[in-house]
Structure 1
Amino acid sequence: MTATYGSTITGLGAYRPHRVVTNADVVRETDVTEDWIEERTGIRTRHSAGPEETVPAMSAEAGGKALAMASVDPSEVDLVILATATKRDRIPGGAPEVASRIGIPACGAFDLNAACAGFAYSVAMASNAVRLGEARNVLVVGAEHLTAYIDPDDPATYVIFGDGAGAAVVSRSSGNDIGPVVWGSDGGRAKILGTKWADDGREYASMNGPLVYRWSTKNVPPVAREACVRAGVDIADIDWFVPHQANLRIIEQLSEILGIPDEKVARDVVDTGNTSAASVPLALSRLHESGRTKPGDTVLLLGFGAGLAYASQVIKMP
């Protein structure tokens, strides 16, 4: 089978829960200080979902905004992909509910769990479906409810994670505005970032921060470089760099290694925290909403995290 169409991102949308959690709020639940949090993570605030702000509910809000920006009617969506690792009910998947909430009739719908790399994985799959003529428009959503998995006795995870959803519409195009994906995994070291079961019967996020930092800053930059090569773009010509918003220190180190100037780097993590699969689309949406981007800007996306899974591609802004 050969590609028949091009693919492009035509719309973006975001949803951040109403409750904003400051570092001052966090320190009341832990034994760390506000300075400790900001020095190690760069995070100042994050959002925490309420009982009604479920993964499907947040996804539908973000997805509806993305469709509106794209001027795509729900009836024109053929596939919904929901990237998430934190939907509490494993069965059924959340994507069919997202489609139903938005009013998308009888579309294909499935969940994808590549954790923090989930959005990049999903964009690649959506692009392939569009290019092969299997779908006209694909709604891709990255959404997480990570605050349901944080333990106040574990500051390494309690202070960084937040909730939210970001979405993109991938549509048919005459050009190829979504570059080839570079993806992979390192399952032999998967246990440095995942979950654990506590004595109280709850499942909590678990992370070896120093090992995650060393692994990501050593192994992820070559992936980003290769994505630029495959897209036929010099990394110096990238207009924006939108990596997974793990923490500010990792983002700054990756940017320095890749030689990307500070003014071209998304830093949504400062106000939104680490939202895993939602982090890249949330940061992408915020860049668009800020008015700092223009249609056709070249953006390097880079997702990496639990698994250890990673993925990168070059796209153009809608």
Structure 2
Amino acid sequence: MKTLSGMGVLGVAIFSGDVVTNDAFPASLQTARAADPFRGRRSPDGTIRIAGMEFSHPKWSRTIRALERAFEDPFRGTRRRRYFPPGMLSSDAEAEAGRRAIEGAGLTRDRIDALLVQSFLPDEIQPQNAALVAHKLGLSNLPSWGVDSICNSPIAQLQVACALVASGQAEHVLCVHSAAYSRVQDPGSSCTFQDADMAAAFVVGPSPGSRIDCAWRTDGRLHAAIRLHWAVPQNEGVRRYWQPSRERLMVGWDEALQAQVMGELEGYTVTVCGEALARANMKIDDIDVFISHHPNAWFGAFMADALGLRDGIVFDTFEEYAVINSATLTSSIYEALRARRIERGSRVLLFGPGAGYTYGAAAMVW
């Protein structure tokens, strides 16, 4: 796979709703049954087994410490999360994030040559949001496409955008993605603590000295591990025959398949990140900042132990933003830039698993 040099991320932005803190949740939810496979158990020897994985000292010391903190916290490591207002369309949030990213890149909308959009959840099943977001941004003389690989969509969009720039078919590409998890939560499950909403965007364009190397794997055996399905919330009683259905669309897990996903994740992480680094002629110790998708509070520690990262390299936004699907990577980049953890010349490694399943990594010189 060819190195994409002389181009990079020019502007990054996010859009979110109001902050929801832990005290907004009823006390009953703190003891609700977990509806996901991320609770786990600890053996007398200190080994932790969780979701198809087994962690023991010394290799997994950071992961074990993070897991122990998560076990003790009824809020699963979250402190805040954001929800879109009830009447807000995903396309409205995406358009606002896109507008901010264009502004952050120092561009005007007429400088955007292509638009890539991913939505969890789109306004309609079909057609999805790409053309609508273009319309709301006042963009018409360009292609607007859906580029979707679920949680790692920013890496997929980054690679497609760079290919467009490298081939001369575009100079600036706007990449937009969003998550509206609050609309598919089970209100009777404690996993609502860690699900939230966010729209995020970045602009890709010419950037002398920058470079990007990507690597991917796909494993469709695991496609059904996580999905949207119609189900009755946990706190709903039996429906009388004359009452309307209480079913709603919610996120669900096949626990056996999800355990297989997690059990194989270390191998995919090491392989895909290793390939991206090799293509970039980097070693793991060269990385200044590592950013990954984070489905739970201990995922960053797990990544650090799996890859052998130095302490302090992982940057995440889980405590502040919770789980926000595809918006995770971009919101973390946004906050890392604000904190000056990423600056010109920084070596950044991105990684994300995406339901379905795909595994993507990008080694970048910023």
Q: Which residue of 2 aligns with 1:291?
A: 340
Question: Are residues 234 and 39 of structure 1, via their aligned partners in 2, closer, same or farther at CA, if it must alter by over 3 Å?
Answer: farther
User: Under a length normalisation based on structure 1, what TM-score does the superposition of the two structures give?
Assistant: 0.89
SS in 2 for 1:276: coil
Q: Residue type matched to 2:12 in 1?
A: L
TM-score w.r.t. the length of structure 2 is: 0.78
1:161 and 2:195 aligned: yes
Structure 1 residues 201, 238: CA separation in 2 closer, same or farther (over 3 Å shift)? same
Is 1:183 paired with 2:216? yes
Q: CA 1:95 to 1:73, structure 2 compared with 1: closer, same or farther past 3 Å?
A: same
User: What is residue 311 of structure 2 aligned with on the other side?
Assistant: 262
3-state DSSP class of the match of 2:315? Answer: coil
8 Å CA contact 1:4, 1:132 repeated in 2 = no
Whether contact under 8 Å (2:113, 2:173) holds in the other structure is: yes
In 2, distance between residues paired with 1:154 and 1:191?
Answer: 21
Give the Cα separation in 2 of the matches to 1:167 and 1:111.
Answer: 14
CA distance in 2, matches of 1:170, 1:283: 17
User: Does the 8 A contact of 1:40 with 1:249 survive in 2?
Assistant: no
Say yes or no: does 1:151 pair with 2:186.
yes
Moved more, 298-307 or 287-296: 287-296
**Percent of matched pairs sharing the same residue:** 24
Cα offsets for 1:127-178 (capped at 9, x unmatched):
11110111110001121111111112343x4232110012111003444522
Gaps of 5+ in 2: 33-68, 233-245
Normalized per residue, which structure has more helix?
1
Distance in 2 between the 1:279 and 1:95 partners? 20
**How far apart in 1 are the matches of 2:140 and 2:30?**
50
Q: Deviations over 1:205-260 (max 9, x none)?
A: 01336555434334323211211111211111111101012222122111122122
Task: Please say if residues 222 and 357 of structure 2, whose CA atoms lie closer than 8 Å, have aligned partners that are also in contact.
Answer: yes
Q: CA deviation at 1:291?
A: 2.7
**1:224 aligned partner, one-letter code:** C
Residue 204 (1) aligns with residue 212 (2): no
1:10 shift after superposition:
0.9
Could you give the per-residue CA deviations for residues 89-108 of structure 1, whole angstroms, max 9, x where no partner exists? 12222122222222223221
Please name the residue that 1:75 is paired with. 110
- Identify which range, 29-38 or 139-148, moves more after superposition: 29-38
For the residues of structure 2 that align with 1:37 and 1:124, how far apart are their CA atoms? 40
User: Quick one: distance in 1 between partners of 2:183 and 2:334?
Assistant: 24
Does 2:354 match 1:316?
Answer: no
Larger Rg: 2
2:21·2:79 contact (CA, 8 Å) conserved in 1? yes
**Aligned residue identity for 1:241:** F
Q: Contact conserved, 2:4 with 2:163, CA < 8 A, in 1? A: no
Q: How big is each residue's C-alpha offset from its partner over 1:168-197, in whole Å with a ceiling of 9 and x where there is no partner?
A: 110034445222x21122211222222221
Q: Report the alpha carbon displacement of residue 67 of structure 1 after superposing the two structures with TM.
A: 1.2
Question: Relative to 1, partners in 2 of residues 1:56 and 1:37: Cα closer, same or farther, differing over 3 Å?
Answer: farther
1:1-318 matches, cutoff 5 A = 6-18=6-18, 20-28=19-27, 30-32=29-31, 38=73, 41-155=76-190, 157-179=191-213, 181-199=214-232, 200-207=246-253, 208=255, 210-317=259-366
- Report if the CA contact (8 A) 1:84-1:118 is conserved: no
Question: Mean alpha-carbon deviation: is it higher for 239-248 or for 28-37?
Answer: 28-37
Gaps of 5+ in 1: none
- Aligned-residue Cα RMSD (Å) equals 2.5
> What is the alpha-carbon distance in structure 1 between the residues aligned to residue 5 and residue 312 of structure 2?
34
Contact 2:75 2:193 in 1 (8 A): no
Preserved contact between residue 93 and residue 110 of structure 1 (Cα < 8 Å):
no
User: Following the alignment from structure 1 to structure 2, what is the Cα–Cα distance between the partners of residues 218 and 32?
Assistant: 34
Contact 1:3–1:132 (8 Å) recurs in 2: no
Give the C-alpha shift of residue 50 in structure 1: 0.7
Q: 1:188 to 1:128 in 2, by over 3 A?
A: same
Is 293-302 or 23-32 further displaced after alignment? 23-32
Looking at structure 1, the residues matched to 95 and 252 of structure 2 have their Cα atoms a distance apart, in angstroms, of 28
